[in-house]
Structure 1
Amino acid sequence: MRYGLDDKPKLSDMIIFGLQWLAVTIPFILIMGKVVGVMDGDYISYIQKLFLVLGFLILLQIFRGHKLPLIMGPAAVILVAILTSSHQGMGAINSSVLIGGLVLAILAASGLFNYLKKLFTPRVIIVILMLISFTLLPTIISLISVSGPVTAIDNFLFSLGFVVVLLAAHALLKGIWKSTLTLSALFIGTLVYYLIFGFTGFTDMNLARVGLPHSLTGSLAVPDVGVLAAFLVSFFALAVNDLASIESVGTILNADEMEKRVKNGITITGLGNVFSGIMGVMGSVNYSISPGLIAATGVASRYTFIPAAIGLIILSLSPMAIGIMSSIPSPVIGVIFLYILTAQIGASLLLVVEKDGIKTVDHGMIIGLPLILGTAIAFLPSEVASQLPAILRPVLGNGFVMGTLFVLFLEHLLYSKGTISRKNNYKKE
């Protein structure tokens, strides 16, 4: 390593490597933030607040949280919960993010989270990671086949070609170029799209060069039981993601006091989601993509995240900059989203091999049924979902939540070791 975990690089190196972390972070914020920001009605202000929250959270994590070189960004699992609860309004969604973050922070800070960790078996984690990808497919389909100034079929054909190019770049590029592929794909894909179809993006030149979001707080409303239950299950999955990210980077860097780092890191993540709920933006989580960039650059210093965090805060104060960055065509966002989620499925399959997650047909059932059920529910026609009882709709109509509940039921109850051993004893008798 050129710089270790607690090394302080010289200022020029710190800025250069900080900009690299910033370059990796921005695409995730723009891609997921724009999806929800459009729902919110003022996506420029929404993404401003998202940049602002994440800038401060990164600083908190490197100085008071896990103190590791970890990227933070919007949580895909919370995006799923927001999309399936959109009919309840942003007030109920913001309150649910706030409550979910508070519960997570209390569990982590009190040490109770250690007891819940027993539920996170390899098969449960595999299903959760895959469900995030599969249950976001309807959103991806709507992004790559959107109809407007450009026809749906043209957008779809462009997306197919862009997917092939993106996967080829992933296979051929190495080092820092591969680590920052999402950023370059974002800009190159946007440029090519507008060269082919003409410019249809950012046109509001009246946005202020410098200015705060229109409102620093979001609306809050009492969520119904179903919405809150769906978000709490989603925060359960967010905790799995956060735990895995902190553990993976800590292990690679041989960091000391990992139990303390996990406790503090997840506590800060929970408090960050409370802050996100108050400000009216989606929840955030630590990402597990940092090891690739650390390996490529040989820089593991947590202090290089200071320029990245400051950069996010500065960008959050410019509606004009956010507006320009947000003029990315929907098909480009959809394809990059597809690429990111495909990589997540790859990581899930690798986990199956590393943890020897499937040894019997029963193990395959534990993984397969929740995935099929969750995906089927995600594609339920709206007229069917609307007929579900209103209080249960956010749970029964949420493919991710139902898939997660089923894998827990299968893993820890129906196909638990105790159940299987009793079944075998009964057959012997």
Structure 2
Amino acid sequence: MLKSKDSFTVLLAGMQWLFFIFTNTVMVPLSIGHALGLAPEDIAASMQRSFILTGLLCIVQAVWGHRYALMDGPAGVWWGLVLSICASAPAMGLDIGTVAASLSSGFIISSSVVIILALCGFLNVLRRIFTPMVMGVFLLLLTFQLANTFFKGMIGYDQGGKWDLKLAGLSLFIIIVVAFIHLKGKGKWGQFSLLGGIIIGWIAYAVFFGSQSRMESASGGTGIWHWLPWGAPGFEPGIIMVGLLAGLVNMTNTLTSLTAAGRLFNREATNKQFVRSILFTNGFSILAGCLGLIPFGTFASSIGFLENTKVLRRAALIAGATMFIIVGIFPALGGWLAKLPLSVGNAVLFVAYLQMFGTAIRSFQGITFNAKTIYRVALPVLTGISIMNIPASAFAEFPPLLTPILSNGLIIGVILVIILENTIQWNKLEGKSFIAEKETPTQQIVIQRQ
């Protein structure tokens, strides 16, 4: 009886993972396919390939790689970079076919370089650079970035700057449902708050808005494997160079994810785990480049999901990843799952990622902040958030190949905090607290009146 209950728990947790992986994956091949002008059947095939490879990578990482219950999927850094380069292609004087061919080369070259760096011990250099302060800023900015994205999605925010009030009301209802199950659920039921929110929210959406589907029509599962579907690899030097930088940023994302996971699982990742994780992630990324998919990365956002569900078992992730592979193999299942409204998924993930804020704050434990040392957090975080809120059109006058970097608040914020941490001796300033500082005339008047 105990084993059957345990299996049922793993199955439910696996379904939560299925929806989490799907929501974080489905829009990537769809949006990139449209950006590259691919035919609907080619987009559908790329979605199936993406689902299958993502599920396989999650299982491989859980069993042989980093061995944590962390999602590995299409990397957000690469996703934003590809969309930005496609949008900037006319300004660079490139046709979309040349861009696609050079991107494939960039994926393969960058992933190969990262593998070589990992084998040569470059991770030790990164671990010295990525102190708890840097990782805390990284997680804070990632939380703000994700929360902003999912908040806009759950309120139906459109390009005209308008809300969909009915959709926003439904999203608020879903958030209340998730919070209620999470806080009031007895026993293990509180662990399935996200799954409950998805099911109840999906039903409510169907009642008030009807059904929807984002899945492109597909012919079948046997013709989805196309070698180099974006054409023979090209070599545009600027795209290759930006791709190398994106590969390094993605490498640091793995470092941050595994370090945060070590604290959550009370089992610090070893150097071998870091190396194995990078080898598998970038090995699959090389394969992705040959199959018309973007490179993979370990999702730091998995930490928020795990902290919300409290289900840390690898078996649950493996179950969810296996279901995801099945969805990729059978287009009909993918079409059904694609009916999950984005607003419902966004509302549920908005709640899940709130937990990441706490993870980021805990990274600063033991650090003293005063009127001077607060800059080591405030400057990179607020600068990054400010850039995130600037429209992409504002960067139109920047060099096209620098735009993906300069317009990315997460990257700029992390670069700033790394510079601050390596140029200023903050420990000498920590001894000066707010109380010890000289009072201003206004403060002295207040004290005298008291």
* TM score, norm. by length of structure 2: 0.74
Name the structure 2 match of 1:356.
Answer: 366
Counterpart Cα distance in 1 of 2:357 and 2:146: 12
Change (3 A) 1:32 1:59: closer
Quote the residue 1:228 is aligned against.
243
Structure 2: 5+ residue stretches without partners = 35-39, 89-95, 431-450
1:145 aligns with 2:150: no
Percent of residue pairs identical: 21
CA 1:340 to 1:63, structure 2 compared with 1: closer, same or farther past 3 Å? closer
Give the secondary-structure state (helix, strand or coil) at the position aligned to 1:66.
Answer: coil
- For 2:119 and 2:306, how far apart are their aligned partners in 1? 26
Given the alignment, which residue of 247, 258, 261 partners 2:262? 247
Q: Cα gap change, 1:106/1:336 in structure 2, threshold over 3 Å: closer, same or farther?
A: farther
1:25 is matched with 17
Q: Deviations over 1:324-376 (max 9, x none)?
A: 11112221132223223322112112322xx3234333432111111211122
- In the alignment, is the contact (CA less than 8 A) between 2:55 and 2:324 conserved in 1? yes
| 1:19 Cα deviation from its structure 2 partner | 3.3
Give yes or no for contact 1:129–1:344 (8 Å, CA) kept in 2. Answer: yes
- Mapping for residues 112-131 of structure 1, pairs under 5 Å: 112-131=122-141
- Report the CA distance between 1:128 and its aligned residue: 0.6
How far 1:272 moved relative to its partner?
Answer: 2.8
- Read off the aligned partner of 1:162 and give its amino acid letter: I
C-alpha distance in structure 2 between counterparts of 1:65 and 1:167, whole Å: 33
> CA–CA distance in 2 between the matches of 1:136 and 1:294?
18
For 2:304 and 2:143, locate their aligned partners in 1 and report how far apart those are by CA, in whole Å: 16
Q: Secondary structure at the match of 2:298?
A: strand
Give the whole-Å Cα distance in 2 for the aligned partners of 1:174 and 1:233.
44
CA–CA separation in structure 2 for the residues paired with 1:250 and 1:24: 19
In 2, Cα distance between equivalents of 1:216 and 1:185: 39
2:340 maps to what in 1?
328
CA distance 1:83–1:46, change in 2 (3 Å): same
**Aligned ranges for residues 30-45 of structure 1 at < 5 Å?**
30-39=22-31, 40-41=33-34, 44-45=44-45
Q: 1:285 aligns with which of 298, 317, 330?
A: 298
Relative to structure 1, is the Cα distance of residues 132 and 67 closer, same or farther in structure 2, using a 3 angstrom cutoff? Answer: closer
User: 1:189–1:332: 8 Å Cα contact kept in structure 2?
Assistant: yes
SS of the equivalent of 1:333 reads helix
Provide the residue aligned with 1:165 in structure 2: 177
Greater RCO between the two (CA within 8 Å, min separation 6)? Answer: 1
Amino acid at match of 1:213: I
Moved more, 72-81 or 371-380: 72-81
Conservation of the 8 A alpha-carbon contact between 1:247 and 1:262: no
User: Which runs of structure 2 are paired with 1:5-404 in the superposition (5 Å)?
Assistant: 19-20=11-12, 22-39=14-31, 40-41=33-34, 44-82=44-82, 84-85=84-85, 87=87, 91=100, 95-136=105-146, 139-143=149-153, 144-146=155-157, 152-173=164-185, 176-201=188-213, 210-211=221-222, 213=224, 215=226, 219=230, 222=235, 224-225=238-239, 227-228=242-243, 231-232=246-247, 234-244=249-259, 247-248=262-263, 251-252=266-267, 258-279=270-291, 280-285=293-298, 287-288=302-303, 308-352=320-364, 355-404=365-414
Task: Determine if contact 1:54/1:73 at 8 Å carries over to the other structure.
Answer: yes
Q: State the shift of 1:237 in Å.
A: 3.4
CA radius of gyration, larger in? 2
Deviations 1:24-74 (A, max 9, x none): 322222212233233123564344222211232234334532345554444
CA shift digits 1:389-414 (9 cap, x unpaired): 2122111111111111111111112x
Does the Cα contact within 8 Å between 1:272 and 1:284 map onto a contact in 2?
Answer: no
- Whether contact under 8 Å (1:58, 1:305) holds in the other structure is yes
Q: For 1:266 and 1:248, how far apart are their aligned partners in 2? A: 19
Relative to structure 1, the CA distance from residue 94 to residue 398 in structure 2 (aligned partners, 3 Å threshold; closer, same or farther) is farther
The code of the aligned residue for 1:405 comes to: I
Aligned length: 401
Instruction: Output the CA distance in 2 between the equivalents of 1:216 and 1:327.
Output: 29
* Structure 1 position 14, deviation (Å): 8.9
Distance 1:363-1:389 versus aligned 2 partners, 3 A rule: same
Which aligned pairs between 1:411-426 and structure 2 lie closer than 5 A?
411-413=421-423, 415-417=424-426
Distance of 2:50 and 2:132 partners within structure 1: 32
CA contact 2:49–2:225 (8 Å) conserved in 1: no
391-400 or 195-204, larger mean C-alpha shift: 195-204
Q: Tell me if structure 1 keeps the 8 A contact 2:141–2:385.
A: yes
Q: Please, what is the CA RMSD of the aligned residues?
A: 3.8
How much has 1:13 moved relative to structure 2? 8.5
Q: Is the 8 A contact 1:357 1:363 kept in 2?
A: no
